[in-house]
């Protein structure tokens, strides 16, 4: 296995070869390897015939020297040749992109260039290869019933900027907030700004199983059951199986499923809104041409494989109207760090918890951050004194530890700990939108460490 990463992600023990890259610059490494494939005549004409924008894309690839591409990605000639040795081989290569790549300012461009490398090296449309970023866990379900409702106008607010969006909303202004399934004050960028928006809103309801940072802002907290406390249908992000998750234990106390909470609320409205039963919704969800299984059958066997092709894009036929793969035609430079904030803050997930679903007794304030041995801050900090992680939005007391192979421009923070217990990395992260998909550019935040 080849791992390309800024390091510190725990994959090194499972890796045959490791390339350390400057965070957020994967597109430049992919472009450098594509350039080698092009110069060495390794790109087949039969593949190019199934692409669109190849002339523009090839000009982007050849418009910068190999040295420039390597410098932008912070990699060496040896690194580029190592990646080339995998993609230039005749054996199929499966490309798995970790979640988080989209959290950079040019995350979409990173993904598109990596996909382009997989395609042009002959690793799309054949067994054992492919490029995997995310297979939507919902894509095999029938969701047409979600299009119903009680009518009326609706508006959408961007989650990456939710604090600003709530305060800016007019005609009418936001007077009530209902939060279900998201610790939004803790998990959205600019957590302090989100908290201010919640404080300025008249009534807040939070449906959650944890008294976290968002629940603390609520006027009413409704305790909900968790995954093992209710029956449900569960998709996957990496394969085409749908599973039936059985109820294992009863929910504690007054905890209720999200569905039951909404059903009970609907009955109390004037006029009442009566929802179908949970079983009705599960049956409708399974009524999909990709599944072909009844609720009774999936309960009995536990899972079903969706009726999808064994090999995606066989014959290099793609989902665009023209059936071709559309190559990107821009390669943007990575923004430089602002003065006084030299390090990139990577707020990666925790191995032992899901985002901020952490029991209060499992918090260990102050939060830990990691730096590499060659990080300039390693020599400048006095670890016998208090250390603070600082961004233009604020400062947070932290403990500093060393991480093997971590890039010298990175400070690593395992996200999810709560502000009320001394943590909360997102109070230091500005609300910035990525180049594609209106995602939050969490990993484009720059910081410093100081005593």
What the block records as the tokens of 322 is 């023209």
Q: CA-based angle 180:183:188, to the nearest 5?
A: 120
Cα 267 from Cα 149, distance rounded (Å): 15
Supply angle C-alpha 53, 55, 57, rounded to 5. Answer: 65
d(CA 290, CA 298): 14
Closest by CA to 415, choosing from 100, 163, 193, 187, is 187
- Estimate the crossing angle of helix 77-87 against helix 66-73, to 10 degrees: 100
- Cα dihedral: 55, 58, 59, 60 (round 10): 130
Please give the angle made by the CA atoms of 266, 272 and 274, to the nearest 5 degrees.
60
Question: Exposed/middle/buried for 309, CB within 10 Å: 0-12, 13-18, 19+?
Answer: exposed
Please, what's the largest Cα pairwise distance for the chain?
71
In the CATH hierarchy, which fold is given to the domain comprising 2-134+311-326?
A: Dimethylsulfoxide Reductase; domain 2 (3.40.228)
Task: Answer whether 28's CB lies under 8 Å from 72's CB.
Answer: yes
Non-local CB neighbours of 302 within 8 Å, separated by 6+ positions = 243, 244, 246
Position 152 scores a pLDDT of 67
DSSP code at position 380: H
Report residues of the chain scoring pLDDT below 50. Answer: none
Q: Are 86 and 2 in contact (CB under 8 A)?
A: yes
**2-134+311-326 and 343-450 agree in CATH topology:** no
Would you give the end-to-end CA distance of the chain in angstroms? 40
Fold of 144-305: Rossmann fold (3.40.50)
Residue with tokens 């379900």: 141
Return the pLDDT at 136. Answer: 75
CA-to-CA separations, 85 to 6, 98, 389, 405, in angstroms, rounded: 20, 21, 39, 22
102 alpha-carbon distance from chain centroid = 6
Angle between helices 278-286 and 258-268 (to 10 degrees): 120
Q: Which pLDDT does position 240 carry in this prediction?
A: 87
Domain-wise residue ranges, the chain:
2-134+311-326, 144-305, 343-450
Phi-psi region of 61 (alpha: psi -120 to 50; beta: other; left: phi over 0): alpha
Cα within 13 Å of Cα(301), Cβ side = 10
How many residues does this entry show for the chain? 451
Q: What pLDDT, on the 0 to 100 scale, is given for residue 150?
A: 57
The b-or-e profile of 313-337 (16+ CB within 10 A means b, else e) is beebebeeeeebbebbeebeebeee
Phi and psi (nearest 5°) for 4? -115, 120
Q: Report the pLDDT value the prediction gives residue 163, as an integer from 0 to 100.
A: 96
Cα–Cα distance between 196 and 137 in angstroms, integer?
33
User: How many Cα atoms sit within 13 Å of 254 on the Cβ side?
Assistant: 5
What Å distances lie between residue 346 and 75, 90, 176, 413, CA to CA?
19, 35, 33, 6
Q: What CATH class has 343-450? A: mainly beta
pLDDT of residue 148: 62
> CA-CA distances (angstroms) from residue 40 to 33, 35, 121, 238?
11, 8, 12, 33
């Amino acid at each position: 296995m080849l791992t390309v990463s800024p390091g510190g992600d725990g994959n090194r023990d499972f890796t045959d070869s490791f390339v350390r890259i400057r965070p957020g610059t994967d597109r430049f490494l992919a472009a450098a390897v594509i350039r080698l494939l092009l110069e060495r005549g390794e790109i087949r004409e039969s593949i190019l015939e199934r692409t669109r924008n190849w002339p523009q894309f090839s000009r982007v690839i050849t418009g910068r020297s190999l040295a420039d591409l390597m410098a932008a990605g912070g990699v060496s000639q040896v690194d580029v040749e190592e990646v080339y040795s995998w993609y230039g081989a005749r054996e199929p290569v499966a490309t798995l992109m970790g979640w988080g790549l989209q959290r950079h300012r040019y995350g979409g461009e990173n993904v598109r260039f990596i996909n382009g490398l997989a395609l042009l090296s002959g690793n799309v449309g054949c067994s054992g290869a492919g490029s995997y970023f995310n297979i939507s866990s919902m894509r095999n379900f029938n969701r047409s019933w979600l299009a119903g409702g009680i009518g009326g106008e609706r508006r959408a607010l961007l989650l990456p900027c939710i604090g600003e969006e709530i305060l800016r909303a007019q005609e009418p202004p936001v007077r009530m907030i209902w939060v279900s399934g998201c610790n939004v004050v803790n998990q959205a960028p600019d957590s302090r700004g989100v908290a201010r928006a919640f404080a300025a809103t008249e009534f807040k309801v939070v449906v959650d199983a944890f008294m976290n940072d968002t629940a603390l802002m609520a006027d009413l907290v409704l305790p909900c059951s968790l995954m093992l406390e209710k029956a449900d249908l569960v998709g996957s992000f990496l394969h085409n199986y749908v599973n039936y998750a059985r109820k294992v234990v009863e929910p504690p106390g007054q905890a209720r499923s999200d569905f039951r909470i909404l059903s009970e609320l609907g009955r109390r409205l004037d006029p009442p809104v009566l929802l179908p039963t949970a079983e009705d919704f599960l049956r409708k969800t399974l009524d999909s041409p990709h599944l072909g299984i009844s609720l009774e059958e999936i309960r009995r066997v536990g899972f079903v494989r969706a009726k999808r092709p064994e090999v995606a894009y066989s014959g290099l036929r793609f989902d665009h109207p023209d059936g071709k793969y559309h190559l990107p035609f821009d390669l943007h430079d990575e923004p430089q760090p602002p003065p006084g904030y030299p390090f990139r803050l990577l707020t990666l997930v925790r191995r032992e918890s899901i985002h901020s679903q952490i029991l209060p007794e499992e918090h260990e304030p102050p939060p830990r951050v990691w730096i590499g041995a060659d990080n300039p801050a390693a020599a400048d900090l006095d670890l016998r004194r208090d250390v603070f992680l600082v961004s233009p939005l604020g400062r947070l007391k932290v403990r500093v530890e060393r991480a093997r192979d971590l890039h010298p421009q990175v400070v690593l923070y395992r996200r999810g700990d709560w502000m009320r217990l001394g943590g909360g990395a997102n109070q230091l992260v500005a609300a910035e939108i990525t180049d594609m998909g209106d995602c939050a550019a969490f990993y484009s935040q720059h910081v410093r460490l100081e005593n």
